[in-house]
Each structure stands twice: as C-alpha cells, then as structure tokens.
Structure 1
C-alpha cells in the first residue's frame, strides 16, 4: 500500500495562509536550497491530491508557469477532492494536460483515500488547501508530514492541525535548516 505524504509550508505559529487565503509570505524566506528540497519532495509523488479550491487556483497558474516547480506540478498526475461536483476540463479549456485529466474524488474522504493508497505506484502527496488538509489529518490518513516551517508569525490565519481530537505520536525522521531561515521537518506515523 502506498503512503500519503502531506507537504505544506507553515508559519512558526502554525498557519498555512492568512485569513484571506494568501500565502505569498512563503517566498520571503525561500532560498535556492529550500526550493531544491521542495522540488525534490515534489518529484517523490506518484499522484498529487488537493481540494477543489486549491485545484482551481493552481490549475489556472501552473500550465503556463516556468521555474523549478513547473515540471513536477504539470507532469505528475492529479486528483481533486470535492463535495460539490467538478469537471477539471473546465479549468484549462482546450489544453489536455495533467490538470484537465485529473481524477475527481467526490465520495467519502476515507474511502477515496484508501482506494488511492491501494493502487500501485509512488506515494501520494497532498498539497492543499487548509480545510482539505485538516480533514486528512483529523481522519488519520496522513502517513508522513513534510513541513517547511517559515520564520514568520502570522498571528491569524488558517491552521491545519486544529481538527486533531486525539493525541498522535509522530517520529521525526529528518530536520533540515536552510540559509533563509526555513526549517524542514519530516515526521512519520
């Protein structure tokens, strides 16, 4: 069974974006080595999953983007989770790519994730948004956490760990500090 990895940038006070959903602060402390780490983690995925809102935002951006993240973001297959129905072909009309061909998962979250985990292939990587991540964490579906902790206090915003209702022990398997101040932590269940 393949594992589900969560990859997120988090402020020091535990928020993944501000109250408006903006996360442009992640670039302030980013440096060449932290970006290389993030790209390397991206390539570990056999499937990238996210919630519908994140999918719509990213699908409008990545197909035309360049830079080190563009290749993994555009080449790795996607799955979008929604409870409202969705057709990924509407996000980039006329362009066949990994975004328009995304698998739509609109059933029970646990059942859908277990189906994906039972398929052969490289790990699944969840990348957003905050509500989707909270649901994955609260349901105990995440096997490995890749957290890029940024040297910033947002004060308010959207957390991802506030849905946890039971103590969960994790094992730190890697901690890596980068010159810009980001510290990457990898935890496993």
Structure 2
C-alpha cells in the first residue's frame, strides 16, 4: 500500500504561510543542497496531491518553467483535491499549446469526494508514495484526517511573527517521531517525522 507524505515549508516560529503576499520567505534560504533534497522528494513520488487553489497557480507556472524542479512537477501524475464537483483542470493550462507538460496539468485527476475515502483509494493503487504539497487548508485537512504516514518539513531560518499554522485546531495532541534531520548550507533544515504508533 502506498504511503502519504506531506511536504511543507515552515518558518522558525511554526507558520506554513505568512501574512504578506509579496514575501518570498520559502525561497530565500535556497541552496544547491536543499534544492537537491527537494528534487529527490519530488522525483520519488508516484503522484502529486494538490489542493485546488495551489493547483491553479502550479498549472500556470510549471509547464513553461525552466527551473530544474519543473521536470518532476510536470512528469508525475497530479490529483487535485476540491469540493467543487465541476472543477475543470483544463481551464488553468499555461498557454494555448498542449505540450506534454501542459497536458500533465490539464489531464489531472479530480478528487471531489470524501477526503479520507479519496486518500484511501489512492493508497491502494500501485505506484510510488503520494506526495501532498500545501496549501494550508488542504494540509490541515490531511493532518485532521489522520492518514499522513510521513511529514517532511523544511524549516527555514526566518521568523514571520504571524501567519497560518498547519496544526491548528487539532482534536487531540499528535506525537511524531523524528526520522532524519538534514542541515543545508543556507541555514534551512529538513526534518522528517512519522506519527508514533
């Protein structure tokens, strides 16, 4: 059975999203070693699970991007999670051409049913791990579902002072076990956790 991995960037003060729309805080500590870690995480996935708001931005950005991360972002199948039964991934395609990269986004699978049922269905399909990447609401929904097998947090050397946390409104405390910690040249640290049994 496939595992569900949640990857998020986190500030030193525990926020996964800040209040300033113009801030690029998740990118400022990027170095070649941290980029290699992210690339490996992306490349190992069997499917990208994305909330619909983040999907809209990604679908416009990645098909035409020259960033090295574009290859795994474009090549790996996508599943967009939304409560909108009529959500159409083709309406967010970047450009009129239907390049293979653009087609991978316009052809995304839409999951609009019960979150736990959709995740369990995906877990029982063949392939590599399921990689969920933000946004905040989607990440929180996954945390509350109790179906995350592994958390991969890139803790960045920045304090935001305010913002949105991933673990707000938990119904109970959540104990995690640190599996690995990798420090990068720019001061970021990748911490991998698994829920304690």
- Category of TM-score, reference length = shorter chain: over 0.9
TM-score, normalising length from structure 2? 0.92
The 8 Å contact of residues 3 and 124 in structure 1, kept in 2 or not, is answered as: yes
Q: Which moved more, 1:145-154 or 1:161-170?
A: 161-170
Report runs of 4+ in structure 1 exceeding 6 Å deviation.
Answer: none
- Shift, 1:19, TM fit: 2.2
Instruction: Compute the displacement of 1:163 (Å).
Output: 3.1
- 2:181 corresponds to 1:175: yes
Partner of 1:38: 38
Where structure 2 has 5 or more consecutive residues not aligned to the other structure, the ranges are none
Aligned partner of 2:88 in structure 1 is 87
Matched, 1:145 2:155: no
Q: Which of the residues 156, 160, 172 maps onto 2:166?
A: 160
Correspondences of 1:1-189 after superposition (within 5 Å): 1-20=1-20, 24-84=24-84, 85-92=86-93, 94-95=97-98, 96-189=102-195
Pairwise CA RMSD: 1.3
Alpha-carbon distance between aligned partners in 1 of 2:82 and 2:23, rounded to the nearest angstrom: 22
C-alpha deviations, 1:130-184, integer Å up to 9, x for none? 0000010011111100000001100111211113221222221110111110010
Relative to the length of structure 1, the TM-score reads 0.95
Aligned residues: 189
Unaligned residue ranges in structure 1 (runs of 5+): none
SS for the counterpart of 1:46 is strand
User: Partners in 1 of 2:11 and 2:122 — Cα distance?
Assistant: 30
Q: Secondary structure at the match of 1:174?
A: strand
